[in-house]
């Protein structure tokens, strides 16, 4: 028995995986560009260095998956469950993470430039040194998140919950903090030295 992962535009087979489940599957370095993984159960899967650019992962279960150095540029991750996932150094530029669950996820050094994280759950997520330039974090739950050294220039944090978040060294130049909740937030922020 095997599972075929198809291109969401052409229907062509991108990869055929032995077995009847993608749970804990080894997809290290796989080329899954434009893959249709809507609702897929990839719990605990190893996707290190995989190419998932423009893939559709809407509603996918990626709990505790290893997505280190994965390429998710322009990917659709709406409603995806990424709780406890490892996304260290992942490229999520322009990814759609609306309503995604990233509770406790490790996004250290990830690039989320221009990503849409509207209503995303990032409670206790590690966002150390993450790039969130121009990202949409409207109504995102960042309670207890570690944003140490994060680049939040021009990010929209309207209505975001930053209670107990650590923003030490974060760059908030031009960020929209309208109606943001910030009770007991650590906010030693840095500004771009080239801006006056």
Q: What is the mean pLDDT of the chain?
A: 94
Render pLDDT for 51-96 as a digit per residue (tens, 0 to 9).
999 999 999 999 999 999 999 999 999 999 999 999 999 999 999 9
Percent of the chain at pLDDT > 90 equals 89
Binned at pLDDT 50, 70 and 90, residue 187 comes out as: low
Question: In angstroms, rounded to a whole number, what is the distance separating the alpha carbons of residues 157 and 30?
Answer: 34
Render pLDDT for 102-128 as a digit per residue (tens, 0 to 9).
999 999 999 999 999 999 999 999 999
How is the chain split into domains, by residue range?
23-196
Mean pLDDT within 131-145? 98
Nearest to 194 by CA among 176, 175, 171, 167: 171
Domain 23-196 belongs in CATH node 3.40.640.10: no
CB–CB of 114/92 below 8 Å?
no
Record the pTM.
Answer: 0.91
List, as own/partner pairs, every contact residues 30-39 make where C-beta atoms lie below 8 angstroms and the sequence separation is at least 24, other chains included.
32/5, 34/7, 34/8, 34/9, 34/10, 35/5, 35/6, 35/7, 35/8, 36/5, 36/6, 36/7, 36/8, 37/5
Tokens read off for 106: 């490790």
Question: In angstroms, rounded to a whole number, what is the distance separating the alpha carbons of residues 143 and 148?
Answer: 14
């Amino acid at each position: 028995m095997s599972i075929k992962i198809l291109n969401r535009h052409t229907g062509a087979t991108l990869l055929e995986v032995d077995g009847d489940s993608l749970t804990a599957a080894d997809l290290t370095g796989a080329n899954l560009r434009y893959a249709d993984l809507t609702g897929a159960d990839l719990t605990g899967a190893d996707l290190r260095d995989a190419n998932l650019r423009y893939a559709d992962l809407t509603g996918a279960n990626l709990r505790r998956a290893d997505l280190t150095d994965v390429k998710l540029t322009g990917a659709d991750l709406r409603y995806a469950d990424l709780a406890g996932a490892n996304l260290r150094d992942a490229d999520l530029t322009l990814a759609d993470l609306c309503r995604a669950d990233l509770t406790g996820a490790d996004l250290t050094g990830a690039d989320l430039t221009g990503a849409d994280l509207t209503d995303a759950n990032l409670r206790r997520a590690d966002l150390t040194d993450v790039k969130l330039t121009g990202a949409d974090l409207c109504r995102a739950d960042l309670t207890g998140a570690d944003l140490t050294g994060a680049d939040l220039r021009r990010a929209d944090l309207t209505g975001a919950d930053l209670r107990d978040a650590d923003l030490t060294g974060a760059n908030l130049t031009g960020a929209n903090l309208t109606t943001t909740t910030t009770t007991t937030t650590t906010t030693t922020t840095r500004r771009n030295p080239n801006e006056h």
